[in-house]
Amino acid sequence: MAYLDNVSVFVRVVELGNLSAAGRDMRISPAVASNRIKELEKHLGVRLFNRTTRQLMPTEHGAVFYDGAKKVMDAIVEAEAAVSALSGQPRGTIRVTAPLGLGRRFIASGIPDFHDKYPDIQVRLRLSDHNVDILKEGIDVAFRLGIIEDSSLRMRGIMQCERVLVASPEYLGARGEPKTPDELIEHRHDCLMLRFPGTKEHYWMLQTKNGPSKYEVTGPYDSDDGDVLTNWALGGRGIVSKPRFEIESYLREGQLRLVLPDYPPTPIQFAAVYPHKKLQDPKVRLLLDFMADRCEKMIRGALAGA
């Protein structure tokens, strides 16, 4: 068992690129992870990594060993899933990721209830508005808001979500209310953008009588955290595009107002994505069913003011 633990740590270090990330993922300290790699190298009689100040890169021996070790670890996971299916007692760990805002409101709040129902299943949640590389980082299920195009993944659609442009009454009073999308650009409105490192385009896709049209809007600042954008909008700092369920309460309370209601952004897909083989895992199916039903009810409740 110790040898398999060492191999498992090795696989995660290769996938995540450093000992600290692998240790956090596996709930062990970097020192323990380092010792397990050393034990494995001693057993194999070769060096598995070239060490730099920031990253561990597999040596030629390490790359060869990873290919075989990954297959072994995947086979063990699949075997455990098959046994769980036969026994009717799903157990094990599920790695889940979700966007920050949606994850906090709907996914994180549901995990304790899921665990109460299935106490032998552990859930490790990672919240980020970045699109996490599911295959590289060993994610079992990713909840996403957006266009999902990765053909290497399977998708379970949960619901189409309306998006709206909103701003505070204070901002609109100071800067004026645009009547057409072109005025966003002509009047140089402060548009608050969700942007990640490496993103090259700033634009909104709005629905017009001629179909969806791209508007390359600008703003004084942006963020990779959707909740930050909402807070900026509430503070009178600009116009933001948001899923309606996230800001419906602010609309009801008058803290935000709709902007260009006749030209809304294109709807956004809320879905769960996962590697093809994961659908065979009963604990993954249980989580998908539980969260899809819960999220749909909560989103509809948020829109209805429940």
Share of the chain above pLDDT 70, in %: 90
What pLDDT sits at residue 89? Answer: 72
| pLDDT number for residue 96 | 93
pLDDT of residue 171: 97
**Two tokens, residue 50:** 């070239």
* Residue 303, Cβ density class (10 Å: 0-12 exposed, 13-18 middle, ≥19 buried): middle
Contact 239, 174 (CB under 8 A): no
Of 84 and 105, more confident: 105
The stretch 170-199 carries a mean pLDDT of: 89
DSSP states of 158-224: EEEE-EEEEE-HHHHHHH---SSHHHHHHTT--EEEE--TT-----EEEEETTEEEEE----S-EES
In this predicted structure, which of 95-109, 139-153, 244-258 has the lowest mean pLDDT?
Answer: 139-153
Phi, psi dihedral angles at 188 (to 5 degrees): 50, 50
Residue 93 binned pLDDT confidence (cut-offs 50, 70, 90): confident
129 touches 270 (CB < 8 A)? no
pLDDT, residue 13, reads 84
Strands 56-58 and 49-51 turn out to be: antiparallel
Q: Are 273 and 84 in contact (CB under 8 A)?
A: no
Give the CA distances from residue 129 to residues 11, 193, 199, in Å, rounded to whole numbers and listed in that order. Answer: 26, 13, 13
Is the predicted pLDDT of residue 270 greater than 70, yes or no?
yes
pLDDT at 191: 96
* Domains, the chain: 1-86 (1.10.10.10), 89-159+268-306 (3.40.190.10), 163-266 (3.40.190.290)
Whether this prediction's pTM lies above 0.75 is answered by no
pLDDT tops 60 at residue 57: yes
Left (φ > 0), alpha (ψ -120 to 50) or beta: where does 58 sit? beta
Q: Which residue has the higher pLDDT, 151 or 224?
A: 224
Query: pLDDT band at residue 302, thresholds of 50, 70 and 90?
Result: confident
**Res. 174: pLDDT tops 90:** yes
Cα dihedral 123, 126, 127, 133 in deg (nearest 10) = -120
Amino acid 260: pLDDT: 97
User: pLDDT at residue 197 above 70?
Assistant: no
Q: How far, in whole angstroms, is CA 130 from its chain's centroid?
A: 6
Query: pLDDT for 95-139, tens place per residue?
Result: 999 988 889 889 999 999 999 999 999 999 988 877 777 877 788
pLDDT in tens, 11-50: 888 888 888 878 877 778 888 888 888 988 889 898 988 8
- State mean pLDDT over 255-274: 93
Q: Tell me if 291 sits within 8 A of 107, measured CB to CB.
A: yes
